[in-house]
Amino acid sequence: MSFLKVSHFFTAIAMKALHNEHGDMRFSPEYRHGAGIKDETFRWRNNGTGKAEIPYYIHPSIEHLTPLINKAIDQYHKLTCLRFVPWKDHRDYVYMFKDNGCYSYVGRVGRAQKLSLGDGCGYVGTIVHELGHALGLHHEHQRSDRDTYLNVYQNNIKSGQEHNFNKTPPSEELIFTKYDYASIMHYGCYAFSKGYRLKTMEAKNGTPLEEPYNKPGLTNSDITMVNKLYKC
């Protein structure tokens, strides 16, 4: 098998994992019927030193991904005021394990909240993306103002996956930055496409849209968003 075919093979697995049938964002009932991340209840708490603390546990099923998880966490440590700490009897924590696909609950939902890194999720960019959800970040391409920057092709979206392109209601949203096509929270142009090479969205200014697994990590706007969200 040629390198190109191998590359396409693994890209297809990574895309299927991220764009799984249930989507990569999960919400608690309270979050869905509340004010979203505007409600500070869903943010991780300050540990008394001015830094929000996010306890996490890595299940043995994804122990082999620990070096990649550490690289993703290190970005948040170096660029934001957040601190991920290994779980030690904390009540609320992020439970990282292997399930079908990549997904995370949005914001702090309480107790052991699931963050799945299944087959195809072993990329630093993907992990940074899922951790972003756990912190409370939504998808960039679902911002309430996205139509100013994106063309979304509803007819090209796989049946049943249209909700992955719904805009976030302004009542549940906090926007601190300009629209960022390169954001780690932005999907690529073929996300949830129903056919080969059918784009589901495209930047109005022609900027290429890459998938999170093809990105190095947080952009300046991602960093600003996290730091303002947590009042760093």
Tell me the binding residues for Zn(2+).
Answer: 129, 133, 139
Task: Return all residues near 32 (Cβ < 8 A) that are at least 6 apart.
Answer: none
Task: Give the Cα separation of 29 and 61 in Å (integer).
Answer: 28
Q: Annotated catalytic, 130?
A: yes
Task: Give the Cα separation of 64 and 68 in Å (integer).
Answer: 9
Q: How far, in Å, are 63, 71, 143, 146, 211 from residue 66 at the CA level? A: 5, 9, 31, 35, 22
> What single letter denotes the amino acid at residue 169?
P
For residue 54, the cross-strand partners are 84
- State the virtual CA torsion across 77, 121, 191, 229 in degrees, nearest 10: -20
Which one from 130, 162, 173, 202 is the annotated catalytic residue?
130
Annotated binding site: 129, 133, 139
Are the C-beta atoms of residues 115 and 105 closer than 8 Å to each other? yes
Task: Give the Cα separation of 158 and 194 in Å (integer).
Answer: 4
Of 32, 124, 123, nearest in space to 71 by CA? 124
Could you give the residue ranges of the DSSP H alpha helices within 19-65?
A: 29-32
Task: Give the Cα separation of 68 and 36 in Å (integer).
Answer: 29
Show which residues are catalytic.
130
